[in-house]
Amino acid sequence: MATRIHTLDRGFSLIELTVVLLLITLLSGIAVRETNALGFQTRYEQTRERLDMITQAILGNPKQIINGQQAVNGFVADMGRLPNSLRELMQRSGDCSDDAGDVSQTECLNLATPGVWTASAWNDDPVTRLHSGSTLQYGWHGPYLNISGNPADNDAFSDGWGNLSNDNNYGWNFINASPALTLQSKGKNQTLNPADTGYDEDYPAAQPRVRAQDWMADIGAGVNVNFKKPSGKLPPVSVCTDPTKTTKTTCTASGATWDGGCENAGYFNKSSCPGAWSNCSDATSASKSACELAGKDWYGEGFGCSDQAKSNKALCTSPGVWRSCTDNGTITSQTACLSAGQIWYGEDIFSINTPSATPICMKIFYRKPDATIGILVSDEDKNTANSEPKSIIADASFQTIRFANFRDSSSNSLITELPIGTNAIGLYKHDGTACTNTHYPADRQNPIQVDFHPRSTLPVLNW
C-alpha cells in the first residue's frame, strides 16, 4: 500500500510546517540579536557623547570661535585647576559662614573676621569676584554641565550603561591626579578591567583623558613685547610746515599744518606765548587722555622757561618760571607729573635729546588653584644669570624685549606653565631692587587681558 503524507486543511504537510516554524525561530533570534546590538550601540554612543560634554565643561569648547579666535571658557578658565569631582561642574563646593559667598577657602579664612569654611557644602549660585589690580574676574561661574535632575542623585550624569555611584562622580572612573585627570566609563559590565573587549571595554581605554598640555599654557620661553612709544616727546616749538607763515591762522588758511600750543611761531610754553595757547592740537580736549584718544597731540601748558633765552632750570631765575611738567606749573617731580597724566621734560632743554634707559619688568596675573589671583614677576630671582631687569630707551624707535624667568611673587617659585584662560599682563618700572607697582608708561594705568590657549605660544604684545 502506498504511504500517505498527511496534510493540513490549508494544504501544508507536517514537514513543511516544521521547516516554516524553524525559519521563524531562526529569524526571531536574529532579530533579537540585532535589536540588542542596536541598543548596545546606542548606549555606547550616548557614553561617548556625555564624555565629550564633560571634557568641554572642563576645558571649554574648542569649536566655539569669537572674533576669529577660540573662545576661552570652562571650569579651568574660571578656577585655574581641574575639578575635584564631576559634581563640581554642576555646583560649587564649599561655603563660608560670613554669607558673602567667598569663592575659596583661602579667602574665607583670611577675612578681617575669619569665617568658618564648610567643605561639604554645595551651592548652585555663581560667585565671581573682580580683582582690583588686574580687573580679572575669578571664581566658580557654572554650571558647566546642565542637567534636569538633582546633582545630589547618584545617577545625575551617568554614562550610557547606567553606571552610578555615591562619590559625586555618577559611576564614572574619575581620578584627579593633577596635572592629569582620568575620566572613563566602566562599560556594559560596569566593571573596570583592562582586558575587557567589545561593549564591556572600559571607554576610552587610553588614559588619562586630560593631560597637562590640554589645560596648561607654556610660558617658559617668555613673553615678547614690541615697543614704539616714548615716555615723553620732544617739546613742540610752535611752527608751521610752511616756514613763511608765523601764525596759526595764516598757516592753516594756506593749507599747511600747524604744530604747537602757541598761536605764534617759536614758542614752547604758555607763559612765554604772546598770544592764545591751546593745550591740545584740537583746541578743545581738556585732558591728555581725551586729547590722545581723539588722535591729537597733547601740549599741556608747555615746557621750559618763561624767558626762552634760558635753556635750563638753573638759568631760569626770578622772575622767570621753569616748567618741567606740562601741567599748570605746580608739579615739580617726575612721579607726580606722570601720575597726573602729563608729560615730563626735565630741567634741561637739551637733556631730552639724549634719553636714558628705563628699567622695566613684567607682571602676569593668573588664577591660582585656590581660586584666587596670583602674580608672577619677571627676572626677580637675584641668584640667577638672568636676574637683571630689562631696560628700554624711550626714543620712539622700535624695540622688542623678551620677558622671562617668571616667579610667583609670594613663594618666589619659578613658574613655567599657567592654566588656560584670560589672564592679565602689565609692564612696570623696576627700581633696581624689585618690580614696583608704577605702570610703564605712565599713561597705561591697567594691565591688558590676554587669552592663554593650550598647545600654543603667547602672541607678541604691542605696547
Query: If DSSP states are collapsed to H, E and C, what string results for the chain?
Result: CCCCCCECCCCCEHHHHHHHHHHHHHHHHHHHHHHHHHHHHHHHHHHHHHHHHHHHHHHCCCCCEECCEECCCCHHHHHCCCCCCCHHHCCEEEEECCCCCCCCHHHHHCCCCCCCEEEEEEECCCCCEECCCCCCEECCCCCCCCCCCCCCCCCCCCCCCCCCCCCCCCCCEEEEECCEEEEEECCCCCCCCCCCCHHHCCECCCCCCECHHHHEEECCCCEEEEECCCCCCCCCCCEECCCCCCEHHHHHHCCCCEECCECECCCCECCCCCCCECCECCCCCCCHHHHHHCCCCECCCECEECCCCCCECCCCCCCCCEECECCCCCCCCHHHHHHCCCCECCCECCHHHCCCEEEEEEEEEEECCCCCEEEEEECCCCCCCCCCCEEEECCCCCEEEEECCEEECCCCCECCEEECEEEEEEEEEECCCCEEEEECCCCCCCCEEEEECCCCCCCCEEC
Note the pLDDT of residue 387. 56
Q: Is the pLDDT of residue 210 over 90?
A: yes
Q: Is the pLDDT of residue 352 over 50?
A: no
Give the Cα separation of 77 and 83 in Å (integer). Answer: 11
User: Where along the chain do its domains lie?
Assistant: 45-214, 223-229+356-462, 231-354
pLDDT class of 349 with cuts at 50, 70, 90: low
Nearest alpha carbon to residue 418 among 456, 452, 448: 452
Give the Cα separation of 124 and 103 in Å (integer). Answer: 13
In this predicted model, what pLDDT tens digit does every residue of 4-51 receive, in sequence order? 444 444 555 667 667 666 666 666 655 555 555 677 888 899 999 999
Q: Which of the pair, 399 or 84, is modelled with greater confidence? A: 84
Q: 160-168: long-range contacts at Cβ-Cβ below 8 A with a sequence spacing of 24 or more? A: 160/42, 160/43, 160/44, 160/45, 160/46, 160/47, 160/48, 160/50, 160/185, 161/43, 161/47, 161/185, 161/186, 161/187, 161/188, 161/190, 162/190, 163/190, 167/85, 168/85, 168/86, 168/87, 168/88
Nearest alpha carbon to residue 118 among 135, 101, 140: 101
Note the pLDDT of residue 11. 55
In this predicted model, what pLDDT tens digit does every residue of 98-139 receive, in sequence order? 765 566 778 788 777 888 888 878 888 887 788 888 888 888
In this predicted model, what pLDDT tens digit does every residue of 427-450 receive, in sequence order? 998 887 888 888 888 767 789 899
What the block records as the C-alpha cell of 393 is 630707551
Radius of gyration of the chain (CA): 36
Note the pLDDT of residue 375. 94
pLDDT class of 2 with cuts at 50, 70, 90: very low
Note the pLDDT of residue 81. 93
In this predicted model, what pLDDT tens digit does every residue of 382-410 receive, in sequence order? 555 555 678 776 655 567 888 988 999 88
Q: Is the pLDDT of residue 232 over 50?
A: no
Distance of alpha carbon 226 from the chain centroid: 19
Q: Is the pLDDT of residue 177 over 70?
A: yes
In this predicted model, what pLDDT tens digit does every residue of 131-163 receive, in sequence order? 888 888 888 888 999 988 899 999 999 998 988
- Lowest mean per-residue pLDDT among 175-184, 221-230, 290-299: 221-230
**Average model confidence (pLDDT) for the chain?**
82
Is the alpha carbon torsion for 277, 280, 284, 288 positive or negative?
Answer: negative
Note the pLDDT of residue 7. 44
